[in-house]
């Protein structure tokens, strides 16, 4: 999972130019960037007659080219990406942030994706006020006559967003990532609230249900994190539930005393 920033805006509002400047500024700050663009243009694999072109014509997909310091992958896609997770699957090298241009339908409804909206006149912004989920890092116009964020301020917001996302992600990794909504939020939304101090890990019903185990050795209770607690609890229950004398529901307390080695 990566921090994702999407550049939105109407045609000819400077989206590509702004994305290019943001990428260059982040790279200058030693931040690794992946850039993903949605296009309606037909993409052709290499020049006709090249080896890679011939491989593709023969039916291979993907076709992968390795050269000095470069990897090029061409793959046929029969399904449009429906989520940021579908896009992330195609990121094959370690990166710190993903910059999107386009993908408006995905970005508008996903609170995991930060947005920057480009415009040339204020009328263009009306379409983004009603149905777009935050966070919105800012509104940017390359036209001097429009009120707009200064580029340096925008970059500061981008950097803060990346830092905050990474902090949120640390809590997200502690959550079960089931998006069961038992707590009222997706797991990522819950992680955001934990980061802000509005919730805690104990407010996750799945964690409290799965971690109900206590191990006492020589009178001292062992501290257990979520993952080992879940593994031990589920393993013990699975073993005991196979015994003939045990009710399969196992609603009560289980006590196991091990004496000696």
How confident is the model at residue 211, as a pLDDT?
56
Q: Do residues 57 and 151 share a domain?
A: yes
Q: Average pLDDT for consecutive 10-residue bins of the chain (261 residues)?
A: 93 93 96 89 73 85 84 77 87 92 88 92 79 89 72 94 95 85 89 93 77 77 74 78 68 74 66
Q: Do residues 33 and 88 share a domain?
A: yes
CATH of the domain at 43: 3.40.50.300
Long-range contact set of residues 65-72: C-beta below 8 Å, sequence gap at least 24: none
How confident is the model at residue 214, as a pLDDT?
77
Q: Is residue 81 part of a domain?
A: yes
How confident is the model at residue 2, as a pLDDT?
92
How many angstroms separate the CA atoms of 162 and 165, rounded?
Answer: 5
Range of the domain at 23: 4-172
How many angstroms separate the CA atoms of 226 and 244, rounded?
Answer: 30
How confident is the model at residue 145, as a pLDDT?
61
Q: Which of 7, 9, 5 is nearest to 122 (CA)?
A: 9
CA dihedral 140, 141, 147, 149 (to 10 degrees): 30
How confident is the model at residue 28, as a pLDDT?
95
Q: Is residue 13 part of a domain?
A: yes
How confident is the model at residue 69, as a pLDDT?
81
Q: Is residue 200 part of a domain?
A: no
Q: Do residues 73 and 156 share a domain?
A: yes
Q: Do residues 168 and 46 share a domain?
A: yes
Q: Is residue 180 part of a domain?
A: no
Q: At how many degrees (to 10) do helices 151-172 and 187-195 cross?
A: 110
How confident is the model at residue 156, as a pLDDT?
95
Q: Is residue 203 part of a domain?
A: no
pTM passes above 0.75: no
How confident is the model at residue 228, as a pLDDT?
77
The structural domain count of the chain equals 2
Q: Do residues 151 and 216 share a domain?
A: no
How confident is the model at residue 144, as a pLDDT?
61
């Amino acid at each position: 999972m990566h921090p994702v920033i999407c550049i939105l805006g109407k045609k000819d509002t400077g989206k590509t130019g702004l994305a290019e400047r943001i990428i260059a500024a982040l790279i200058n700050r030693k931040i690794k960037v992946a850039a993903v663009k949605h296009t309606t243009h037909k993409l052709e694999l290499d020049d006709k007659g090249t080896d890679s072109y011939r491989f593709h014509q023969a039916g291979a997909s993907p076709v992968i080219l390795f050269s000095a310091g470069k990897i090029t992958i061409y793959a046929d896609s029969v399904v449009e990406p429906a989520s940021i997770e579908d896009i992330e699957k195609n990121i094959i090298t370690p990166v710190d942030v993903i910059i999107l241009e386009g993908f408006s339908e995905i970005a508008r409804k996903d609170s995991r994706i930060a947005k920057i909206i480009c415009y040339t006149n204020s009328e263009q912004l009306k379409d983004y006020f009603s149905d777009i989920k935050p966070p919105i890092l800012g509104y940017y116009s390359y036209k001097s006559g429009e009120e707009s964020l200064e580029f340096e301020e925008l970059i500061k917001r981008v950097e803060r967003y990346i830092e905050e996302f990474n902090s949120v992600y640390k809590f997200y990794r502690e959550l079960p990532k089931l998006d069961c909504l038992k707590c009222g939020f997706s797991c990522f939304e819950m992680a955001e609230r934990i980061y802000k101090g509005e919730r805690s890990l104990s407010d996750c019903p799945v964690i409290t249900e799965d971690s109900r185990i206590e191990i006492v050795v020589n009178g001292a209770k062992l501290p257990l994190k979520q993952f080992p607690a879940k593994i031990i609890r589920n393993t013990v229950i699975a073993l005991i539930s196979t015994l003939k004398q045990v009710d399969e529901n196992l609603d009560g307390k289980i006590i196991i005393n091990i004496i000696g080695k």
